[in-house]
Amino acid sequence: MSTQASVAVKPSGLQRAVRFVLPFMVFVAGLAVWELVVRVREIPPYVLPAPSVIFLTLIRDWVVLAESLATTLLTTLEGFAAASIGGIALALLFNQSKWVEYSLFPYAVVLQVTPVIAIAPLLLIYLEQQTAVVVCAFIVAFFPVLSNTTLGLNSVDRNLAGLFQLYGASPQQTLRFLKLPAALPYILGGLRIAGGLSLIGAVVAEIAAGTAGAGSGLAYRIAESGYRLNIPRMFAALLLLSLAGIVIYGVLALISHLVLRRWHESALGKEN
Amino acid sequence: MVESKPSSTVEASLTALAVSLRGVTKVYDNGVMALGPLDLAVRKGEFISLLGPSGCGKSTALRLIAGLSAASSGTVRVSRQEGEEQPGHGIGFVFQEPTLMPWTSVRENVRLPLKLGGIAKAEGRARADAALASVGLADFADAFPRELSGGMKMRVSLARALVTDPDILLMDEPFAALDEITRFRLNNDLLVLWRSLGKTVIFVTHSVFESVYLSQRVVVMTGRPGRIQADIRIETVEPRGEEFRTSAAYSDYCRRVSAALAPSYQGQSVL
Q: How many CB atoms lie within 10 A of CB A63?
A: 8
Give tens-digit pLDDT for B234-247.
888 777 877 888 88
Cα torsion B89, B92, B96, B100: sign: positive
Give tens-digit pLDDT for A126-173.
988 888 889 999 999 999 999 999 999 988 998 999 999 988 889 999
> Measuring CA to CA, which residue among B196, B85, B131 is closest to residue A167?
B85
Hey, which residues 153-192 in chain A have their CB within 8 Å of chain B? 157, 159-160, 162-169, 173, 177-178, 181-182, 184
Contact between B34 and B57 (Cβ < 8 Å): yes
> Measuring CA to CA, which residue among B39, B127, B129, B124 is closest to residue B75?
B39
3-state secondary structure of A18: helix
B5: Cα within 13 Å, side-chain hemisphere = 7
Give tens-digit pLDDT for A197-216.
999 999 988 888 875 445 58
The answer, yes or no, to whether residue A268 has pLDDT greater than 80, is no
Cα separation of A127 and A135, whole Å? 9
What is the predicted pLDDT for the residue at A220? 87
User: pLDDT-based confidence at B203, cuts 50/70/90?
Assistant: very high
What is the predicted pLDDT for the residue at B87? 47
B75 forms beta bridges with: B22
By C-alpha distance, the chain A residue nearest B106 is: A263
What is the predicted pLDDT for the residue at B153? 93
Cα torsion B4, B10, B11, B14: sign: negative
Q: Which helix (H) or strand (E) holds A219?
A: helix A218-227
Q: How many CB atoms lie within 10 A of CB B266?
A: 8
Provide, as residue numbers in chain B, all residues whose Cβ is less than 8 Å from the Cβ of A157: 99
Give tens-digit pLDDT for A73-103.
999 999 999 999 999 999 999 988 889 889 9
What is the predicted pLDDT for the residue at A181? 93
Mean pLDDT calculated for residue range B146-160: 92
3-state secondary structure of B109: helix
By C-alpha distance, the chain B residue nearest A178 is: B101
Mean pLDDT calculated for residue range A233-238: 93
Cα torsion B115, B121, B123, B129: sign: positive
CB spacing of B99 vs A160 below 8 angstroms? yes
Cα separation of A167 and B164, whole Å? 10
CB spacing of B103 vs A160 below 8 angstroms? no
Q: What is the mean pLDDT of chain B?
A: 83
CB spacing of B93 vs A163 below 8 angstroms? yes
Q: Which residues contact A172 (CB under 8 A, 6 or more apart)?
A: none
Q: Name the amino acid, one letter, at B156.
A: V
What is the predicted pLDDT for the residue at B9? 47
Mean pLDDT calculated for residue range B88-108: 88
What is the predicted pLDDT for the residue at B6? 44
**Helix/strand/coil percentages in chain A, nearest 5:** 85, 0, 15
Task: Among B93, B95, B116, select the one facing A168 at the smallest CB separation.
Answer: B116
Task: Among B87, B102, B146, select the one facing A168 at the smallest CB separation.
Answer: B87
What is the predicted pLDDT for the residue at A232? 93
Q: Does B70 touch chain A (CB under 8 A)?
A: no
Cα separation of B264 and B267, whole Å? 9
Q: How many CB atoms lie within 10 A of CB A210?
A: 20
What is the predicted pLDDT for the residue at B201? 93
Q: What is the mean pLDDT of chain A?
A: 87
Give tens-digit pLDDT for B13-55.
555 788 888 888 888 888 888 887 888 889 888 999 998 887 7
pTM equals: 0.81
Integer-rounded Cα Rg, in Å, for chain B is 18
What is the predicted pLDDT for the residue at A118? 87
Give tens-digit pLDDT for B62-85.
888 988 888 888 888 887 655 455
- Give the ipTM: 0.83
Least confident of A215-219, B142-146, B194-198: A215-219
The answer, yes or no, to whether residue B1 has pLDDT greater than 50, is no
Mean pLDDT calculated for residue range B254-268: 78
Give the count of Cβ contacts less than 8 A between chain A and B.
62
